A and B are shown apart, each in its own frame.
Chain A
Amino acid sequence: MARAMTITIHVPAPLRACCDGASELLLSAPSVRAALLQLERSHPSLYRSICDETGAVRRHVNLFVNTSHVRDREGLDTALVPGDVITILPAVSGG
Protein backbone atom coordinates (compact mmCIF):
# COMPACT_ATOMS: atom_id res chain seq x y z
CA MET A 1 0.00 0.00 0.00
CA ALA A 2 1.41 3.38 -0.91
CA ARG A 3 2.31 5.47 2.10
CA ALA A 4 0.17 8.36 0.87
CA MET A 5 -2.90 6.12 1.11
CA THR A 6 -2.36 5.30 4.74
CA ILE A 7 -2.77 6.71 8.20
CA THR A 8 0.45 6.98 10.19
CA ILE A 9 0.42 6.49 13.94
CA HIS A 10 3.40 7.99 15.78
CA VAL A 11 4.21 5.86 18.80
CA PRO A 12 6.07 7.60 21.65
CA ALA A 13 9.23 5.97 23.00
CA PRO A 14 7.69 4.75 26.28
CA LEU A 15 5.04 2.74 24.37
CA ARG A 16 7.25 1.25 21.66
CA ALA A 17 7.77 -1.92 23.66
CA CYS A 18 4.09 -2.64 22.84
CA CYS A 19 4.84 -2.76 19.09
CA ASP A 20 8.27 -4.38 18.74
CA GLY A 21 10.05 -1.05 19.00
CA ALA A 22 8.29 0.55 16.02
CA SER A 23 8.20 4.36 16.15
CA GLU A 24 5.34 4.49 13.68
CA LEU A 25 2.62 2.17 12.46
CA LEU A 26 0.80 2.39 9.14
CA LEU A 27 -2.81 1.43 8.63
CA SER A 28 -5.88 2.38 6.66
CA ALA A 29 -8.92 3.61 8.59
CA PRO A 30 -11.80 6.08 8.06
CA SER A 31 -11.86 7.37 11.65
CA VAL A 32 -9.82 7.50 14.84
CA ARG A 33 -12.15 4.92 16.37
CA ALA A 34 -11.60 2.55 13.42
CA ALA A 35 -7.83 3.05 13.66
CA LEU A 36 -7.88 2.19 17.37
CA LEU A 37 -10.01 -0.90 16.73
CA GLN A 38 -7.38 -2.07 14.26
CA LEU A 39 -4.74 -1.49 16.92
CA GLU A 40 -6.78 -3.55 19.37
CA ARG A 41 -6.40 -6.51 17.03
CA SER A 42 -2.84 -5.94 15.83
CA HIS A 43 -1.19 -4.51 18.97
CA PRO A 44 -3.47 -5.23 21.94
CA SER A 45 -1.07 -4.00 24.62
CA LEU A 46 -0.59 -0.68 22.80
CA TYR A 47 -4.36 -0.36 22.49
CA ARG A 48 -4.81 -0.98 26.22
CA SER A 49 -2.26 1.76 26.94
CA ILE A 50 -4.39 4.20 24.95
CA CYS A 51 -7.94 3.09 25.74
CA ASP A 52 -9.63 1.90 28.92
CA GLU A 53 -11.88 -1.14 29.21
CA THR A 54 -14.88 0.86 27.92
CA GLY A 55 -13.02 1.82 24.75
CA ALA A 56 -12.64 5.46 25.78
CA VAL A 57 -9.25 7.17 25.43
CA ARG A 58 -7.55 7.13 28.82
CA ARG A 59 -7.63 10.44 30.67
CA HIS A 60 -3.86 10.82 30.63
CA VAL A 61 -3.42 10.06 26.92
CA ASN A 62 -3.38 12.93 24.42
CA LEU A 63 -4.22 11.98 20.85
CA PHE A 64 -3.63 14.42 18.03
CA VAL A 65 -4.74 14.13 14.42
CA ASN A 66 -2.18 16.15 12.51
CA THR A 67 -1.91 19.34 14.60
CA SER A 68 -5.28 19.11 16.38
CA HIS A 69 -6.18 17.42 19.65
CA VAL A 70 -9.01 14.95 19.04
CA ARG A 71 -10.82 16.71 21.92
CA ASP A 72 -11.06 19.75 19.64
CA ARG A 73 -12.25 17.67 16.68
CA GLU A 74 -14.90 14.99 17.00
CA GLY A 75 -13.11 12.79 19.52
CA LEU A 76 -13.02 9.15 18.46
CA ASP A 77 -15.40 9.96 15.60
CA THR A 78 -12.85 12.29 14.01
CA ALA A 79 -12.73 11.36 10.33
CA LEU A 80 -9.39 10.44 8.80
CA VAL A 81 -8.21 10.88 5.25
CA PRO A 82 -5.18 9.23 3.65
CA GLY A 83 -1.99 10.92 4.76
CA ASP A 84 -3.31 11.90 8.20
CA VAL A 85 -0.97 11.42 11.13
CA ILE A 86 -2.18 10.33 14.57
CA THR A 87 0.24 11.27 17.33
CA ILE A 88 0.12 9.73 20.77
CA LEU A 89 1.70 12.55 22.76
CA PRO A 90 4.30 11.32 25.20
CA ALA A 91 4.30 12.82 28.67
CA VAL A 92 7.73 14.32 29.23
CA SER A 93 8.87 15.78 32.55
CA GLY A 94 12.68 15.61 32.38
CA GLY A 95 14.56 18.82 32.96
Chain B
Amino acid sequence: MNDEQLLRYSRQIMLPEIDVSGQERLMRSRVIVIGLGGLGSAASIYLAAAGVGHLVLADADHVELANLQRQILHTSRDIGRAKVDSARDHLLALNPDVTITTIKKRFKDDDALEKAIATADAVVDGSDNFPTRFAINRVCVTTGTPLVSGAAIRYEGQVSVFCRTQDSPCYRCLYSNEHIAAESCAETGVVPPLLGIIGSLQAIETLKLLIGIGESLEGRLLRVNALTMECRTSTLTRDPNCPVCRTHRRDQDEGQTAARTR
Protein backbone atom coordinates (compact mmCIF):
# COMPACT_ATOMS: atom_id res chain seq x y z
CA MET B 1 0.00 0.00 0.00
CA ASN B 2 1.41 3.40 -0.91
CA ASP B 3 1.27 6.58 1.21
CA GLU B 4 -1.72 7.94 -0.65
CA GLN B 5 -3.66 4.71 -0.06
CA LEU B 6 -2.65 4.67 3.60
CA LEU B 7 -4.08 8.19 3.91
CA ARG B 8 -7.18 7.49 1.83
CA TYR B 9 -8.13 4.47 3.95
CA SER B 10 -6.67 5.74 7.25
CA ARG B 11 -10.03 6.17 9.00
CA GLN B 12 -10.85 2.49 8.57
CA ILE B 13 -7.29 1.19 8.94
CA MET B 14 -7.26 2.76 12.42
CA LEU B 15 -10.03 0.37 13.44
CA PRO B 16 -8.16 -2.51 15.08
CA GLU B 17 -10.44 -5.14 13.52
CA ILE B 18 -9.53 -3.91 10.04
CA ASP B 19 -5.95 -2.61 10.33
CA VAL B 20 -3.56 -2.75 7.37
CA SER B 21 -4.07 -6.47 6.88
CA GLY B 22 -7.86 -6.06 6.56
CA GLN B 23 -7.40 -3.23 4.10
CA GLU B 24 -5.06 -5.35 2.03
CA ARG B 25 -7.67 -8.08 2.00
CA LEU B 26 -10.26 -5.62 0.70
CA MET B 27 -7.87 -4.49 -2.01
CA ARG B 28 -7.38 -8.10 -3.12
CA SER B 29 -11.13 -8.81 -3.16
CA ARG B 30 -13.56 -9.05 -6.02
CA VAL B 31 -17.27 -8.29 -5.53
CA ILE B 32 -20.05 -8.43 -8.08
CA VAL B 33 -22.91 -5.96 -7.63
CA ILE B 34 -26.00 -7.06 -9.54
CA GLY B 35 -28.48 -4.25 -10.13
CA LEU B 36 -27.33 -0.64 -10.11
CA GLY B 37 -30.58 0.85 -8.86
CA GLY B 38 -31.20 2.20 -5.37
CA LEU B 39 -29.53 -0.64 -3.47
CA GLY B 40 -26.67 -1.15 -5.91
CA SER B 41 -25.97 2.60 -5.91
CA ALA B 42 -25.46 2.84 -2.16
CA ALA B 43 -23.67 -0.49 -1.87
CA SER B 44 -21.24 0.09 -4.73
CA ILE B 45 -20.40 3.66 -3.63
CA TYR B 46 -19.32 2.40 -0.20
CA LEU B 47 -17.53 -0.67 -1.55
CA ALA B 48 -15.57 1.49 -4.00
CA ALA B 49 -14.86 4.17 -1.40
CA ALA B 50 -13.64 1.54 1.07
CA GLY B 51 -11.18 0.23 -1.50
CA VAL B 52 -12.54 -3.14 -2.61
CA GLY B 53 -10.03 -4.02 -5.31
CA HIS B 54 -12.26 -5.21 -8.11
CA LEU B 55 -15.93 -4.42 -8.59
CA VAL B 56 -17.94 -6.16 -11.27
CA LEU B 57 -21.07 -4.13 -12.07
CA ALA B 58 -24.00 -5.85 -13.74
CA ASP B 59 -27.16 -4.19 -15.06
CA ALA B 60 -28.86 -4.15 -18.47
CA ASP B 61 -30.90 -0.97 -17.97
CA HIS B 62 -30.42 2.67 -18.91
CA VAL B 63 -30.77 5.63 -16.58
CA GLU B 64 -34.24 7.18 -16.57
CA LEU B 65 -35.53 10.38 -14.98
CA ALA B 66 -37.75 8.43 -12.55
CA ASN B 67 -34.66 6.54 -11.27
CA LEU B 68 -32.91 9.64 -9.96
CA GLN B 69 -35.10 10.10 -6.88
CA ARG B 70 -33.37 7.07 -5.31
CA GLN B 71 -30.52 5.79 -7.48
CA ILE B 72 -27.81 8.13 -6.21
CA LEU B 73 -25.05 6.74 -8.38
CA HIS B 74 -26.57 8.42 -11.45
CA THR B 75 -27.19 12.10 -12.20
CA SER B 76 -29.47 14.09 -14.49
CA ARG B 77 -26.68 14.21 -17.07
CA ASP B 78 -26.65 10.40 -17.23
CA ILE B 79 -30.24 10.02 -18.43
CA GLY B 80 -30.22 7.66 -21.40
CA ARG B 81 -26.79 6.19 -20.62
CA ALA B 82 -26.29 2.56 -19.68
CA LYS B 83 -26.35 2.30 -15.89
CA VAL B 84 -23.13 0.30 -15.89
CA ASP B 85 -21.34 3.11 -17.78
CA SER B 86 -22.72 5.84 -15.54
CA ALA B 87 -21.85 3.80 -12.45
CA ARG B 88 -18.32 3.02 -13.63
CA ASP B 89 -17.57 6.70 -14.32
CA HIS B 90 -18.85 7.90 -10.94
CA LEU B 91 -17.14 5.14 -8.97
CA LEU B 92 -13.79 5.69 -10.73
CA ALA B 93 -14.08 9.42 -10.02
CA LEU B 94 -14.62 8.53 -6.36
CA ASN B 95 -11.76 6.03 -6.20
CA PRO B 96 -9.46 5.46 -9.20
CA ASP B 97 -7.74 2.62 -7.27
CA VAL B 98 -10.66 0.31 -7.94
CA THR B 99 -10.70 -1.93 -10.99
CA ILE B 100 -14.17 -1.97 -12.52
CA THR B 101 -15.60 -4.47 -14.96
CA THR B 102 -19.08 -4.00 -16.40
CA ILE B 103 -21.61 -6.53 -17.63
CA LYS B 104 -24.50 -4.97 -19.51
CA LYS B 105 -26.69 -8.03 -19.63
CA ARG B 106 -29.68 -9.56 -17.94
CA PHE B 107 -28.95 -12.66 -15.96
CA LYS B 108 -30.76 -15.00 -18.31
CA ASP B 109 -29.09 -13.68 -21.45
CA ASP B 110 -25.61 -14.94 -20.93
CA ASP B 111 -23.39 -17.05 -18.78
CA ALA B 112 -21.02 -14.11 -18.24
CA LEU B 113 -22.78 -13.36 -14.95
CA GLU B 114 -22.50 -16.97 -13.83
CA LYS B 115 -18.78 -16.90 -14.49
CA ALA B 116 -18.48 -13.54 -12.71
CA ILE B 117 -20.25 -14.95 -9.64
CA ALA B 118 -18.07 -18.05 -9.64
CA THR B 119 -14.92 -15.92 -9.47
CA ALA B 120 -16.23 -13.37 -6.96
CA ASP B 121 -15.58 -13.33 -3.23
CA ALA B 122 -19.12 -12.05 -2.61
CA VAL B 123 -22.28 -11.15 -4.51
CA VAL B 124 -24.36 -8.08 -3.67
CA ASP B 125 -27.89 -8.63 -4.93
CA GLY B 126 -29.67 -5.35 -5.58
CA SER B 127 -31.84 -6.65 -8.40
CA ASP B 128 -35.48 -5.66 -8.70
CA ASN B 129 -37.28 -8.90 -9.48
CA PHE B 130 -37.71 -12.42 -8.13
CA PRO B 131 -36.67 -14.40 -11.25
CA THR B 132 -33.25 -12.70 -11.18
CA ARG B 133 -32.94 -13.20 -7.43
CA PHE B 134 -33.68 -16.92 -7.73
CA ALA B 135 -31.23 -17.26 -10.63
CA ILE B 136 -28.47 -15.49 -8.67
CA ASN B 137 -29.15 -17.69 -5.65
CA ARG B 138 -28.93 -20.86 -7.74
CA VAL B 139 -25.49 -19.89 -8.98
CA CYS B 140 -24.35 -18.83 -5.49
CA VAL B 141 -25.42 -22.23 -4.11
CA THR B 142 -23.60 -24.20 -6.80
CA THR B 143 -20.44 -22.05 -6.68
CA GLY B 144 -20.44 -21.55 -2.90
CA THR B 145 -20.29 -17.77 -3.26
CA PRO B 146 -21.65 -15.71 -0.33
CA LEU B 147 -24.80 -13.81 -1.29
CA VAL B 148 -25.51 -10.48 0.41
CA SER B 149 -29.15 -9.96 -0.34
CA GLY B 150 -31.15 -6.76 0.13
CA ALA B 151 -34.60 -5.65 -0.92
CA ALA B 152 -36.86 -2.69 -0.27
CA ILE B 153 -40.35 -1.56 -1.16
CA ARG B 154 -42.62 1.17 0.24
CA TYR B 155 -41.19 1.71 3.74
CA GLU B 156 -39.88 -1.81 4.39
CA GLY B 157 -36.44 -3.22 3.73
CA GLN B 158 -34.84 -6.61 4.29
CA VAL B 159 -31.21 -7.73 4.45
CA SER B 160 -29.61 -11.12 4.92
CA VAL B 161 -26.54 -13.15 3.97
CA PHE B 162 -27.08 -16.49 2.25
CA CYS B 163 -24.79 -19.31 1.08
CA ARG B 164 -21.85 -18.24 3.28
CA THR B 165 -21.09 -21.83 4.21
CA GLN B 166 -22.35 -25.25 3.22
CA ASP B 167 -24.72 -25.11 6.20
CA SER B 168 -26.12 -21.64 5.51
CA PRO B 169 -29.69 -21.22 4.34
CA CYS B 170 -30.06 -20.08 0.74
CA TYR B 171 -32.48 -17.45 -0.60
CA ARG B 172 -34.76 -20.22 -1.87
CA CYS B 173 -35.03 -21.63 1.67
CA LEU B 174 -36.91 -18.44 2.54
CA TYR B 175 -38.78 -17.51 -0.59
CA SER B 176 -40.59 -19.67 -3.07
CA ASN B 177 -40.90 -18.90 -6.75
CA GLU B 178 -44.64 -19.34 -6.30
CA HIS B 179 -44.63 -15.86 -4.86
CA ILE B 180 -47.49 -13.87 -6.19
CA ALA B 181 -46.94 -10.44 -4.71
CA ALA B 182 -43.92 -9.50 -6.81
CA GLU B 183 -43.87 -5.78 -6.39
CA SER B 184 -41.33 -3.39 -7.87
CA CYS B 185 -40.27 0.08 -6.74
CA ALA B 186 -41.39 1.32 -10.16
CA GLU B 187 -44.94 0.05 -9.63
CA THR B 188 -45.42 0.25 -5.87
CA GLY B 189 -43.14 3.09 -4.77
CA VAL B 190 -40.39 3.36 -2.20
CA VAL B 191 -39.13 6.03 0.18
CA PRO B 192 -35.70 6.95 -1.24
CA PRO B 193 -33.35 6.91 1.79
CA LEU B 194 -34.54 3.42 2.71
CA LEU B 195 -32.60 2.12 -0.30
CA GLY B 196 -29.54 3.92 1.01
CA ILE B 197 -29.99 2.30 4.42
CA ILE B 198 -30.45 -1.21 3.02
CA GLY B 199 -27.73 -0.79 0.38
CA SER B 200 -25.34 0.50 3.06
CA LEU B 201 -26.17 -2.48 5.27
CA GLN B 202 -25.34 -4.73 2.32
CA ALA B 203 -22.01 -2.91 1.95
CA ILE B 204 -21.20 -3.38 5.65
CA GLU B 205 -22.06 -7.08 5.52
CA THR B 206 -19.91 -7.47 2.40
CA LEU B 207 -16.92 -5.70 3.97
CA LYS B 208 -17.25 -7.90 7.08
CA LEU B 209 -17.30 -11.04 4.93
CA LEU B 210 -14.28 -9.94 2.90
CA ILE B 211 -12.19 -9.00 5.93
CA GLY B 212 -13.52 -11.83 8.10
CA ILE B 213 -14.71 -9.81 11.09
CA GLY B 214 -17.84 -9.48 13.20
CA GLU B 215 -21.04 -11.49 13.12
CA SER B 216 -22.55 -11.96 9.70
CA LEU B 217 -26.29 -11.73 9.07
CA GLU B 218 -26.03 -15.34 7.90
CA GLY B 219 -28.98 -17.22 9.39
CA ARG B 220 -30.75 -14.00 10.26
CA LEU B 221 -33.10 -11.71 8.38
CA LEU B 222 -32.98 -8.05 9.35
CA ARG B 223 -36.12 -6.09 8.56
CA VAL B 224 -36.22 -2.31 8.72
CA ASN B 225 -39.50 -0.44 8.81
CA ALA B 226 -38.81 3.18 7.93
CA LEU B 227 -42.30 4.34 8.87
CA THR B 228 -42.14 3.11 12.47
CA MET B 229 -38.30 3.12 12.49
CA GLU B 230 -38.28 -0.35 13.99
CA CYS B 231 -35.75 -3.04 13.17
CA ARG B 232 -36.55 -6.70 13.71
CA THR B 233 -34.28 -9.69 13.32
CA SER B 234 -35.70 -13.13 12.61
CA THR B 235 -33.83 -16.40 12.68
CA LEU B 236 -33.43 -18.22 9.36
CA THR B 237 -32.49 -21.85 9.01
CA ARG B 238 -32.07 -24.12 6.02
CA ASP B 239 -35.30 -25.54 4.65
CA PRO B 240 -34.71 -29.29 4.56
CA ASN B 241 -37.08 -29.41 1.57
CA CYS B 242 -35.45 -26.54 -0.32
CA PRO B 243 -35.41 -27.57 -3.99
CA VAL B 244 -32.16 -25.68 -4.64
CA CYS B 245 -29.69 -26.26 -1.80
CA ARG B 246 -31.06 -29.69 -0.80
CA THR B 247 -30.51 -30.97 -4.35
CA HIS B 248 -27.07 -29.39 -4.58
CA ARG B 249 -26.06 -30.84 -1.22
CA ARG B 250 -27.29 -34.30 -2.23
CA ASP B 251 -25.33 -34.11 -5.50
CA GLN B 252 -22.24 -33.04 -3.58
CA ASP B 253 -22.64 -35.80 -1.00
CA GLU B 254 -23.03 -38.37 -3.77
CA GLY B 255 -19.97 -36.96 -5.50
CA GLN B 256 -17.93 -37.24 -2.32
CA THR B 257 -19.15 -40.78 -1.69
CA ALA B 258 -18.26 -41.72 -5.26
CA ALA B 259 -14.83 -40.12 -4.88
CA ARG B 260 -14.23 -42.03 -1.64
CA THR B 261 -15.21 -45.37 -3.17
CA ARG B 262 -13.04 -44.90 -6.25
Chain A residues proximal to chain B, CB less than 8 Å: 12-14, 58-60, 62, 64, 67-69, 71-72, 87, 89-95
Contacts and interface: CB of A to CB of B under 8 A. Distances in A.
Contacts of B157: 92
A71 B239 contact: yes
Given A69-B235, A71-B237, A90-B181, 5 more contacts: A58-B178, A62-B175, A69-B236, A90-B153, A93-B184
B51 interface: no
Q: Is the interface of B mostly helix, strand, loop or mixed?
A: mixed
A95 B175 contact: no
A90 B128 CA distance: 15
B175 A91 contact: yes
B188 A94 contact: yes
Interface in B155-212: 156-158, 174-176, 178-185, 188, 190, 195
Contacts of B233: 67
A64 B233 CA distance: 11
Contacts of B237: 69, 71-72
Nearest to A62: B174
Interface of B: 35, 37-40, 125-130, 133, 150-154, 156-158, 174-176, 178-185, 188, 190, 195, 221, 232-237, 239
B185 A67 contact: no
Given A13-B154, A87-B234, A89-B234, A95 B40 contact: yes
A14 B153 CA distance: 11
A95 B235 contact: no
Given A60-B178, A60-B180, A69-B236, A95 B35 contact: yes
28 contacts: A12-B156, A13-B154, A13-B156, A59-B178, A60-B178, A67-B232, A67-B235, A68-B235, A69-B236, A69-B237, A87-B234, A90-B181, A91-B130, A92-B151, A92-B153, A92-B156, A92-B157, A92-B158, A93-B128, A93-B129, A93-B153, A94-B38, A94-B152, A95-B37, A95-B38, A95-B40, A95-B126, A95-B150
A53 B262 CA distance: 50
A68 B232 CA distance: 12
A53 to B, nearest CB: 15
A72 B238 CA distance: 9
Contacts of A59: 176, 178
Contacts of A12: 156
Contacts of B127: 93, 95
Contacts of B234: 64, 67-69, 87, 89
Contacts of B183: 14, 92-94
B130 A93 contact: yes
A72 B188 CA distance: 32
Contacts of B126: 95
Contacts of B188: 94
B185 A94 contact: yes
A94 B153 contact: yes
B125 to A, nearest CB: 8
Contacts of B151: 92-95
A60 B150 contact: no
Nearest to A58: B178
